Amino acid sequence: MRGRRRFDSMPGSAVMATLAQPAECVLTLPAAWVDAAKFERALWLCGDALGGPCTGVVVQVPAGCKPMVEVIVRLLSFCNQACLMTKRVRLQFADDDQAAMGYLDRMGFFDHLSPSVEVSPSRPAVSGARLHRGGNSGLVEIARFSGTEPAEDSLVVRLAETARNSCSGRPDVAALHNAVFTILCELIGNVVEHSGSPLDAFAVLQTYPRGNKVRIAVSDSGFGVLETLRPALRKKGDPMAVLGDVDLLVEMFRKGVSRYDDDNRGTGLMACAAHAIRFKADLDVRLLRGRVLLKPAETEYQPNMAYLQVGLPLMWGTHIAFTLNLA
């Protein structure tokens, strides 16, 4: 990859552009491992569920569907956003396969899902996350925090301890622990600063020792980090205000960018990047109508190592995922 790759449309866009918006949008997840890219394709085929006039959303989870943790928290935010917009939301699982529902239940997905969402065959009667909390050394159940108030200190400590305990045999476990702690502190703090949403935000972490990876994801339902940052930059005459989304995001993680006239502000995401780069982490950022995937370039993230998708269906907030590579 020698330059920025831009994906201005998704498969089927020409067809979708000619169709009237249905009264009900259907989001069908694939019967496979679902990463952020596959989730975005399914969301595109569903239509503009949050930004269009449809009155209902159906989410279909077929047998064999295995969503990654970053997809799970994004799906959770998506469903809750649709409910807040007074849309009817139905979440349908295959009758003959309870694996996907069981995994989401174990993570606490249903504990944080709006009670307005209709679940079939039925919601779990007892929360699997509450029954087995802490039973999986490599998984942290979905942690909820306010989008407008500081999170409890114990939240980040618990997430970072999970990474350390599940990777305790590694010689660099201390550096890994510090990286996870810093990344989560800054991402959660960034949500509190930029979200402004009445809906809760979510954080989750999972380690994959066999795959030598740690996945960290934070999802909120606010105004969006660039939507709050860019107007403030324009107001104070900062030349970064005219940068495109990719370039501005890269500068946020490479040099630090703040909407305040304070040299001590805006360095949090830069600290995230410094720790993440050590583990050659991929960085996935979902914006209101776009997605940016940054690949590490030696000691920093650079615009020419970015994949960009634009014109995506609306999703409120900022959804950030780091995949730390431990090999």
CB proximity list for 183: less than 8 A, separation 6 or greater = 216, 272, 275, 276, 322
pLDDT given at position 140? 77
Residue with tokens 């047998």: 63
Encode pLDDT of 150-189 as tens digits.
Answer: 677 788 898 898 888 888 888 999 999 999 999 998 888 8
The CA R_g of the chain, rounded to the nearest whole Å, is 19
Per the omega criterion (within 30 degrees of 0), is the bond before 30 cis?
no
The mean pLDDT value for 263-280 works out to 81
pLDDT at 17 over 50: no
What is the band of 45 on the pLDDT scale with cuts at 50, 70, 90?
Answer: very high
| Residue with more model confidence, 267 or 48 | 48
Q: What is the mean pLDDT of the chain?
A: 86
**What percentage of the chain has pLDDT greater than the value 70?**
87
| Helices 173-194 and 153-166: angle between axes, nearest 10 degrees | 150
Encode pLDDT of 55-104 as tens digits.
Answer: 999 999 999 999 999 999 999 999 999 999 999 999 999 987 889 999 99
Residue count (the chain): 327
Weakest mean pLDDT among 68-82, 184-198, 257-271: 257-271
pLDDT given at position 162? 86
Residue with tokens 């069908």: 28
Q: Domain ranges in the chain?
A: 5-325
Both tokens of 302, joined, read 């650079």
Weakest mean pLDDT among 14-18, 114-118, 187-191, 281-285: 14-18
**What percentage of the chain has pLDDT greater than the value 90?**
48
Neighbours of 1 (CB within 10 A): 10
Residues 319/218, Cβ–Cβ less than 8 Å: yes
Q: Which helix (H) or strand (E) holds 7?
A: strand 5-7
- What whole-number distance in Å separates Cα of residue 228 and Cα of residue 116? 29
pLDDT given at position 89? 98
The mean pLDDT value for 297-319 works out to 88
What is the band of 18 on the pLDDT scale with cuts at 50, 70, 90?
Answer: very low
pLDDT given at position 186? 87
pLDDT at 20 over 60: no
Weakest mean pLDDT among 43-47, 137-141, 156-160: 137-141
Weakest mean pLDDT among 84-98, 242-256, 279-293: 242-256
pLDDT given at position 152? 75
Both tokens of 39, joined, read 């989730």
pLDDT given at position 137? 63
Q: Which helix (H) or strand (E) holds 214?
A: strand 213-219
pLDDT given at position 304? 81
What is the band of 11 on the pLDDT scale with cuts at 50, 70, 90?
Answer: very low
pLDDT given at position 55? 95
Q: Which CATH number fits domain 5-325: 2.40.50.100, 3.40.30.10, 3.30.565.10, 3.40.50.620?
A: 3.30.565.10
What region, left, alpha or beta, does residue 26 occupy, with left being phi > 0 and alpha being psi -120 to 50 degrees? beta
